[in-house]
A = this chain, B = another copy of it.
Amino acid sequence: MDMKFDLAQIAPPPHVAFPMSAPMRACAAGSCDQCGVRDRAICADLPSGDREALSQIGRRVALRAGQTVMWEGDDSMVVANVIEGTLKLSTSLGDGREQIVGVVYPSDFIGRPFGTLTPHSVTALTDARLCLFPRRAFDGFARSHGALQHRLLARTLDDLDRTRAWMLLLGRKSAREKVATFLLDMGRRLPIDRDGTIELPLSRQQVADILGLTIETVSRQMNEMKRLGVIALPGRRGVRLIDAVALEAMAGGD
């Protein structure tokens, strides 16, 4: 189980245009009216006056793939809505072993409100845009707006359910079952183009870090499924789910 320490997790690989230490760039302010996640984010059912007030507290920010927004263990300074892009939540052991504990998509909420410590790092997997709030200001706003707090609670309860379901995968599923479950999950969450192909926002290493496997095992399982005709693997990050029924069977009940 001793995995080799992976330098890439500390220093950004050279091809990452914006190193993780790059400051977040402000981007076109844009009012809530034209926000792409206006009716799905936690601010959705605020009266529009309140929503604008909340908007005043925050700012729009753009991220490049690879940039880290928050670091595990740091003070919790900001929270945010994801407007666009995909990000990962991750924790790691002292020796570099990493576990991705969540993947978030547009309209999801990130950061740790009502708490002082950031429990996990948040890193952009693709270029992304956030609606970022100072944590204390957000906390204060939420405390005085029941609707917002209710929405945040509902979302947190959902996250907790999903996270606990994932524990079953981590603790009890075989490599084959893990990979099949993962692919089905991505098929549900990512846009599917007309020939049924999805573009994973993750490298093989990151898939491994989600499933609690090594990169080699993930690669072997996926190529074995390809050999069986259950999936196709066009390009480095493409996956076409050819036989979803067979995949479901491989995913092992639930």
Please report A residues at the B interface, Cβ cutoff 8 Å.
1, 89, 91-95, 97-99, 101-102, 112-115, 119-120, 143, 146, 149-150, 152-154, 156-161, 163-168, 170-174, 177, 209, 211-212, 252-254
18 residue pairs of the A-B complex, CB under 8 angstroms, read: A1-B173, A93-B172, A93-B254, A94-B252, A95-B253, A97-B172, A101-B164, A102-B164, A112-B161, A113-B157, A114-B153, A119-B164, A120-B164, A143-B150, A153-B153, A153-B156, A167-B167, A170-B170
List B contacts of A1 (CB < 8 A). Answer: 172-174, 177
Tell me the minimal C-beta distance from A167 to chain B in angstroms: 5
User: Once bound together, how far apart are the Cα atoms of A170 and B166, in whole Å?
Assistant: 10
List B contacts of A254 (CB < 8 A). Answer: 91-94
Q: Which of B153, B160, B165, B209 contacts A91 (CB 8 A)?
A: B165
- The 9 A-B residue pairs whose C-beta atoms are closest, nearest first, are A94-B253, A171-B212, A170-B170, A1-B174, A101-B164, A119-B161, A99-B168, A99-B171, A97-B172
